[in-house]
Amino acid sequence: MSTAAFLPSASDPGRVGALLVQEVRWEQGRPEPVAGTEREIRADLVLLAMGFTAVADSPLFEQLGVTLTERGAVARDDTWRAEADGVFVAGDAGRGQSLIVWAIAEGRACAAAVDAYLMGETRLPAPVVPTSRPLSA
């Protein structure tokens, strides 16, 4: 895995000419650059296909009174609730970068939690909890 920065083209500084990449090592959940692994890769076109990197910066969070985790997700408890009353969080916004199956399962379970919050009880299915993790082989 590597981090990247764009370098401008020598003939047209307004266009990308290369990527500067560096290997990273995961330490305590964070990517740490590995010294001495920097290299350039020539490029005419760069397509970014990044997963969730954090919820988009927005005044909404402060207005609602919710906080973000150090990884940029919305903090939530084990009943899908964010820190503000009546605010629930499911999918990438709460779990961080993940897969569609998790977003679907979390959405269903979160709907059950919202139903219980509004009605006092629920009969909706809750296939996962916020701390559920993939089954390991």
Residues that bind ligand FAD (CB under 6 A): 49, 51, 56, 58, 60, 91-93, 98-101, 103
- Classified as helix, coil or strand, 107 is helix
Tokens of 17: 């000419």
**Shortest distance, position 105 Cβ to ligand FAD, whole Å:** 11
Which helix (DSSP H) or strand (DSSP E) does residue 111 occupy? helix 100-119
- Classified as helix, coil or strand, 42 is strand
- Distance between CA atoms of 33 and 12, rounded to whole angstroms? 29
Q: Which is nearer to ligand FAD, 38 or 83 (CB)?
A: 83
Q: Which is nearer to ligand FAD, 34 or 99 (CB)?
A: 99
**Shortest distance, position 35 Cβ to ligand FAD, whole Å:** 30
Tokens of 52: 């969730």
**Shortest distance, position 7 Cβ to ligand FAD, whole Å:** 23
Q: Which is nearer to ligand FAD, 18 or 102 (CB)?
A: 102
Tokens of 90: 């499911």
Q: Which is nearer to ligand FAD, 27 or 57 (CB)?
A: 57
Tokens of 60: 């909404």
Q: Which is nearer to ligand FAD, 56 or 118 (CB)?
A: 56
Contacts of 55-61 with CB under 8 Å at 24 or more apart are 55/93
**Shortest distance, position 25 Cβ to ligand FAD, whole Å:** 23
| Helix ranges, 25-87 (H) | 59-64
**Shortest distance, position 108 Cβ to ligand FAD, whole Å:** 12
Cβ-closest position to ligand FAD = 91
